[in-house]
């Protein structure tokens, strides 16, 4: 099915510079397109791939999360993510990416588009002229990641109060609840009676297991 989708993209003239990379993410096709081709990707998907259905548009921040959990205190309740920046399927040029999933209700297939956006000025063309439903998804992405969607009829807050500052889903935005108070689940990591201490899910044990 992936080959068929890629062949259709190619026959629609959507190849070469437009597609940067493709990948198979556990059975799902991921196509990374050039930033300037973002809206054309939607148009091609709708016209030539029969993808009439917009599932979602959102963003990813690939920057490593601030290291959570206090190893000395044994608090490993917050998962510790890797400290170096790595990218997912189909790669990325920088920290921010916009991604979207479109599907076909008639052909029963779907694919994920990704596109890199600039770190300093995250900006991409809006999909609203192609899929009306992109409106709310792009408003959400704008407030959560700070991406600007050119051509959107009105980027304003969707979930958050209008005076809200910051972009909560960026990795450098702290989860305040965890900053002001340690995770109460800390007590759960005490060893069970009769178990050796090394079996407790401490950081050392987690790493020793792998």
Partner 1 sequence: MTAPTHASARSEGPGWVPQPGVSEPSVGMNVELDTGDMVLNLGPQHPATHGTLRLVIRLDGERVLTADPVIGYMHRGYEKLTEFRTYPQVTTLINRIDWLSSFANEVPFMDAAERLMGIEAPPRAQWIRTTLTELSRIATFLLFLGEMGLQVGALTPAFYGFRDREHVLNLIEAATGGRFHPNFNRIGGLKDDLPWGWIAETRATMKIVLDACDQFEDLVLGNEIFGARTRGIGIIPSDVGTAYGVSGSNLRASGVDWDLRRDARPYLAYPDLDFKVWTHPDGDSYSRYWVRLQETREAARMVLQCLEGMPAGPIMAKVPRIIKVPEGEVWVETENPLGQMAYYVVSKGATGPFRVKIRSASFSNVSILPWLLQGVFVPDVITILASLYFILGDIDR
Binding site for partner 1 (CB under 8 A): 25-28, 30, 52-56, 58, 60-61, 65, 68, 76-82, 86, 88-89, 99, 101, 105, 108, 112, 131-133, 135-136, 144, 157-161, 168-169, 173, 175, 178, 185, 201, 205-206, 209-210
Nearer to partner 1, 25 or 36 (CB): 25
Q: How far apart, in whole angstroms, are the C-alpha atoms of residue 194 and residue 46?
A: 61
User: What is the distance between the alpha carbons of residues 151 and 185, in angstroms, rounded to a whole number?
Assistant: 45
Nearer to partner 1, 8 or 69 (CB): 69
C-alpha separations of 85 from 54, 66, 166 in Å:
30, 12, 22
Residue 71 or 157 with smaller CB distance to partner 1: 157
In whole angstroms, how close is the CB of 145 to partner 1 at the nearest point?
11
Residue 14 Cβ vs partner 1, minimum distance, rounded to whole Å = 20
**Range list of β-strands (E), the chain:** 19-25, 28-33, 53-61, 96-103, 110-117, 123-125, 148-150
Beta carbon nearer to partner 1, 48 or 178: 178
In the complex, the smallest distance separating the C-beta of residue 72 from partner 1, rounded to whole angstroms, is 19
Pure H helices in the chain: 2-11, 38-48, 134-145, 176-180, 203-209
- Please, what is the minimum distance in Å from the beta carbon of residue 25 to partner 1? 5
Q: Name the minimum Å distance from CB 140 to partner 1.
A: 8
The nearer residue to partner 1, 165 or 210, going by C-beta atoms, is: 210
Full strand arrangement of the beta sheet holding 53-61: 19-25, 28-33, 110-117, 96-103, 53-61
């Amino acid at each position: 099915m992936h080959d068929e989708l890629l062949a259709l993209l190619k026959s629609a003239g959507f190849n070469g510079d437009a597609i940067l990379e493709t990948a198979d993410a556990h059975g799902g096709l991921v196509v990374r397109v050039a930033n300037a081709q973002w809206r054309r990707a939607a148009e091609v998907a709708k016209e030539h791939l029969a993808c009439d259905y917009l599932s979602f548009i959102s963003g990813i921040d690939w920057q490593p999360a601030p290291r959570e959990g206090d190893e000395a205190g044994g608090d490993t309740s917050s998962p510790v993510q890797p400290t170096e920046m790595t990218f997912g399927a189909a790669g990325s040029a920088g920290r921010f990416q916009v991604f979207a999933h479109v599907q076909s209700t008639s052909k029963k297939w779907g694919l994920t588009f990704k596109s890199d956006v600039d770190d300093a000025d995250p900006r991409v063309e809006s999909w609203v002229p192609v899929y009306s439903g992109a409106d709310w998804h792009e408003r959400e992405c704008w407030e959560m990641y700070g991406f600007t969607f050119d051509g959107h009829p009105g980027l304003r807050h969707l979930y958050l109060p209008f005076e809200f500052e910051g972009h909560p889903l960026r990795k450098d935005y702290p989860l305040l609840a965890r900053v002001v108070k340690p995770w109460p689940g800390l007590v759960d990591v005490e060893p069970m009676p009769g178990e050796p201490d090394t079996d407790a899910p401490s950081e050392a044990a987690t790493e020793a297991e792998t």
